[in-house]
């Protein structure tokens, strides 16, 4: 509180919420998904988009929640709420497919 007050008195704008590039992409995905589908994504939707494992998505959701960037109701499906203004979110980048030299069966 004192830091924000000092910033205002010094003519500086308070810093917005900070998040990593990867966290920003998850937040941007949540916002975009909600715009298209009129409901928050399930963890499975994020897993499909980002091509990661269920534990990875769950850990990211927990991290975003602990950081105060989202809120959700435990035990309620699709209950994610963004707590940041969508104007500060980065542009959602398409996920690049993994290129491998291993032949499929």
Residues 3-60 have pLDDT tens digits of: 444 444 555 445 567 899 999 999 999 999 999 999 999 999 999 999 999 999 999 9
pLDDT of residue 29: 98
Query: Which domains are seen in the chain, by residue range?
Result: 21-88 (1.10.10.10)
Beta carbons within 10 angstroms of residue 33's beta carbon = 20
Cα radius of gyration rounded to whole Å, the chain: 17
CB 80, CB 30: distance < 8 Å:
yes
Q: What is the pLDDT of residue 2?
A: 47
């Amino acid at each position: 509180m004192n830091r924000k007050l000092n910033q205002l008195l010094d003519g500086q704008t308070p810093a917005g919420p900070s998040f990593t590039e990867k966290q920003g992409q998850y937040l941007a995905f949540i916002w975009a998904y909600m715009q298209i589908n009129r409901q928050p994504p399930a963890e499975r939707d994020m897993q499909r988009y980002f091509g990661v494992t269920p534990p990875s998505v769950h850990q990211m959701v927990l991290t975003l929640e602990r950081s105060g960037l989202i809120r959700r109701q435990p035990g309620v499906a699709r209950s994610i709420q963004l707590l940041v203004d969508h104007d500060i979110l980065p542009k959602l980048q398409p996920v690049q497919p993994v290129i491998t030299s291993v032949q499929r069966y």
